[in-house]
A and B are shown apart, each in its own frame.
Chain A
Amino acid sequence: MTGIDLLLSVAFAVGVIGFVSVFALVAIYLERKVSAHMQDRLGPMETGGWHGWSQTVADTLKLLLKEDIIPTAADKPLFKLAPFIVFTGSFAAWAVIPFAANLIGADINIGVFYLVAVSSLGVIGILMAGWASNNKWALYGAMRAAAQMVSYEIPIGLSLLVPILLAESLSMKELVEVQAGGFWHWTIFSHLPFALIAFVIYFWASLAETNRTPFDIPEAESELVAGYHVEYSGMRFAMFFLAEYANMFVVSAVVTALFLGGWYAPIPWLDIPVETSVVGSAAIGAFWFSSKAMLLVVVQMWLRWTLPRLRVDQLMHICWKVFMPFSFVNILLLSLWVALCQ
């Protein structure tokens, strides 16, 4: 690795941290606005005057200034470490997210594999948090989270195999590049119905992966109060919060990259090729990519404020008895189709 490459990588990492923080601010503001619009509430119109723009800023300040409470009976080193591991897991996943053809942290040839691997790192952090808090509710939350996230890795992995099979690559960049040339070339539309089934399964399973309603069982505020982060306050809590929103974007980004044409515009002539302008291409690519991903983030919020919560056994039922068989059959049929027709 040359010095310039290293420098670029560091610059990208710093850029991503900045983007994650800004994204989280925007996403939290968005979530407030989405929920308030759905619920006819006026609260988020107040702070700061124009459409409550400074609510998130005030929130951030509050979280920064809050006392950092560590329970006396907690396992202190683990308690302090846990939020950072959770955040690292979701942050590391951003390395392979292809914002544009030339805007990708590390175009490694096992991109998807890497992504699945690092995003399951968060489970360890959550288990640590639940255990170290020395609180039964937190432990319940952690156990639920572990069971849920480990189980849902399987349908996620299986549904990710569909675009991989079609693109014959594990590299995020190549996975996107096969979808070039208009929305009818996007995986989700070009290989109906297999890709559509895989898309639906992945999107639902990813809600479980990010602990969002209707799968927010590990946090379940009416049952477990707040689950694994019930004992956390101030900045440490904010790390969990940040990780949740970063995760929301990561899963949406994966869907975008693998199923929805990544950085490509719906109609080819809206794109700027790399050959024409390096910066322009990166900008327009990032614009389309982020827009698609944000749309999916809004869908996640929409679901959260509409649906009730499942019970833990129903969650497992859906994973093992609904998503898994469908994924397997889907993969099998797709493999046959690929083998016979191509």
Chain B
Amino acid sequence: MSDSLELNLSTGHAPDLVRSALADVEDIHGERMSLQMGPQHPATHGVLRLELETDGEMVVKATPHIGYLHRCFEKIAENMTWPQIIPYVDRLDYCASMNNALGFVLGCEKLFGIEVSERVQTIRVLVAEMNRVASHLVAVGTYGLDIGAWTPFLFLFQEREHLLDLFDELSGGRLLYNYIWIGGLAHDVPDGWLPKVRDFLKYMEPKIGELNTLLSFNKIFTERTGKVAVLPADLAIQYGVTGPNLRGSGVKWDIRKAEPYSGYETYDFEIPVGTGEFGIVGDCFDRYMVRVREMEQSLLIMKQAVERLEKLERDDVQAAIPKSFSKVPVGEIYFRTETPKGELGFYIVSDGKGKPNRLKCRAPSFTALSVLSRLAPGLLIADIVALVGSIDIVLGEVDR
């Protein structure tokens, strides 16, 4: 036991080092215990089950078991008309419904050859960034909870509440919106809504500084997350890890910049990456901090979008919606967007009928979770909690 603890301290959890050291201590520590973490466990963020093989407090092997929330979304989609799929897409990553819907809708629009107006695009960018902030607030808050800090979690949910109220006024839903439609939007923004978004921006900006003082740079927090579960950049790319998790490993890569959609190329924002402030590049702290910094960038984009919307004339946001979806172009497309969790891809196969022939969803949480069994060996049980929280999975999306 004491050996294992020393080992973790001295190597700083770099997985390869720990694994080689594990081989040495294997003979000394004979018995291992298997431990079922989940599906009912507060730190697995839903119904994930981790089968841990432990040696004292140290995890030797971790196998994720998923599928507890499986509802075969892809099969359901084959039986739905194109617009009917959007509510199901909303439920993939229920923390960021707008971003999910945007990904699917843009894929369909590209396949069907639909162009939308600038106003529609700007509103879409605005709501997508709002939802990115809301999603990161959940991710960051629950991560604090995983590390044992209760209060930041409730503070952040309070900020998120303001966003949900705005969404409520915009679309009538607090969590699932069905607002972005193929070829347009459900309706234009209500009167007096944009000033409220402006108020929120003013309110939110100092809050991120508060979060950093309360949680991010807390000594205990940085000790708990720095140097823990380091994900090297090459391993992240091999495992298809995307989004904030990949950027936490120091790769400056964002689909909004690499393959811009909805006019993201015209917005001015930075891509924050992990710098190894409190340990090694790609540790839990970097993944966490990238999310915090992304919120700042999203606020910037929101500000620009609001400014544009205030200048743009109102037009018919439903102008480009096709009259009928019973006959659509034949083709297939893989379209991806940057959701708060990473690269959300839709592989859409259309055979010209009113329903998709096949709809495959490539969920960012799904691929990010697959790297867990590579990172887990050599971590302590408490670090597994830190790791699972830092990759920010939503089981609705993992299991689909």
Chain A positions within 8 Å of B, measured between CB atoms, are 35, 38-41, 136-137, 140, 213-214, 216-217, 220-225, 305-314, 316-317
Contacts and interface: CB of A to CB of B under 8 A. Distances in A.
Given A308-B218, A309-B220, A223 B43 contact: yes
A216 B385 CA distance: 15
A222 B146 contact: yes
Interface string B148-192: 111100110010000000000000000000000000000000000
Nearest to A316: B5
Contact of A313 (B9, B158, B214): B9
Contacts of B371: none
Contact of A312 (B33, B43, B214, B380): B380
Contacts of A314: 223-224
Contacts of A140: 57, 381
Contact of A223 (B8, B155, B220, B385): B385
Given A220-B382, A307-B218, A311-B223, 8 more contacts: A40-B158, A223-B385, A225-B41, A305-B151, A306-B214, A308-B144, A309-B149, A316-B5
B43 A136 contact: no
21 contacts: A39-B155, A40-B158, A213-B148, A214-B220, A217-B382, A220-B148, A220-B382, A222-B148, A223-B43, A223-B381, A225-B42, A305-B150, A306-B151, A306-B214, A308-B218, A309-B147, A309-B148, A309-B224, A310-B223, A311-B382, A312-B57
A64 to B, nearest CB: 26
Contacts of B41: 225
A45 to B, nearest CB: 15
B145 interface: yes
B383 interface: yes
A227 to B, nearest CB: 12
A90 B57 CA distance: 28
A39 B147 CA distance: 17
Contacts of B381: 140, 223-224
Identify the 3 closest CB pairs spanning chains A and B, nearest first.
A309-B148, A308-B149, A39-B154
Contacts of B33: 136
B215 interface: yes
Contacts of A222: 42-43, 145-148, 385
- Centre residue among B41, B146, B147 by max chain A CB count within 10 A: B147
Interface of B: 5, 8-9, 33, 35, 41-43, 57, 144-151, 154-155, 158, 214-215, 218, 220-221, 223-224, 380-383, 385
A278 to B, nearest CB: 46
A312 B384 CA distance: 13
Contacts of B148: 213-214, 216, 220, 222, 307-309
A307 B221 CA distance: 8
Contacts of B5: 312-313, 316
Nearest to A305: B151
A89 B148 CA distance: 27
Contacts of A313: 5, 8-9, 57, 380
A311 to B, nearest CB: 5
A217 B215 CA distance: 19
Contacts of B145: 222
User: Which residue, of B41, B148, B220, B223, has the highest number of chain A Cβ atoms within 10 A?
Assistant: B148
Contacts of B380: 311-313
Nearest to A147: B1
A69 to B, nearest CB: 16
A220 B218 CA distance: 19
Most buried by A among B146, B150, B220: B150
Given A40-B158, A214-B220, A308 B215 contact: yes
Contacts of A217: 382
Contacts of A316: 5
Contacts of A308: 144, 147-149, 215, 218, 220-221, 224
A219 to B, nearest CB: 10
A136 B381 CA distance: 13
A38 B383 CA distance: 27
A240 to B, nearest CB: 19
Contacts of A224: 381
A214 B144 CA distance: 13
Contacts of B224: 308-311, 314
Nearest to A39: B154
A243 B320 CA distance: 67
Contacts of A310: 220, 223-224
Nearest to B148: A309
Contacts of B214: 306
B155 to A, nearest CB: 7
A40 B210 CA distance: 15
A140 B224 CA distance: 19
Contact of B154 (A41, A213, A309): A41
A310 B386 CA distance: 12
Given A136-B33, A308-B221, A310-B220, A223 B151 contact: no
Residue of A39, A41, A308, A309 with highest tally of chain B CB at under 10 A: A308
B154 A312 contact: no
A312 B43 CA distance: 17
A45 B223 CA distance: 36
Contacts of B9: 313, 317
Contacts of A35: 150-151
A307 B149 contact: yes
A140 B381 CA distance: 10
A13 B172 CA distance: 61
Most buried by A among B57, B151, B380: B151
A213 B145 CA distance: 13
B43 A40 contact: no
Nearest to B150: A305
Contacts of B146: 222
Contacts of A220: 148, 382
A53 B35 CA distance: 42
Nearest to A217: B382
Contacts of B150: 35, 39, 305
Nearest to B154: A39
Contacts of B35: 136-137
A312 B385 CA distance: 13
Contacts of A38: 151
Contacts of A41: 154
Nearest to B144: A308
Given A308-B221, A317-B9, A223 B382 contact: yes
Given A40-B158, A222-B43, A311 B383 contact: yes
B220 A307 contact: yes
Contacts of B149: 306-309
A146 B146 CA distance: 23
A188 to B, nearest CB: 25
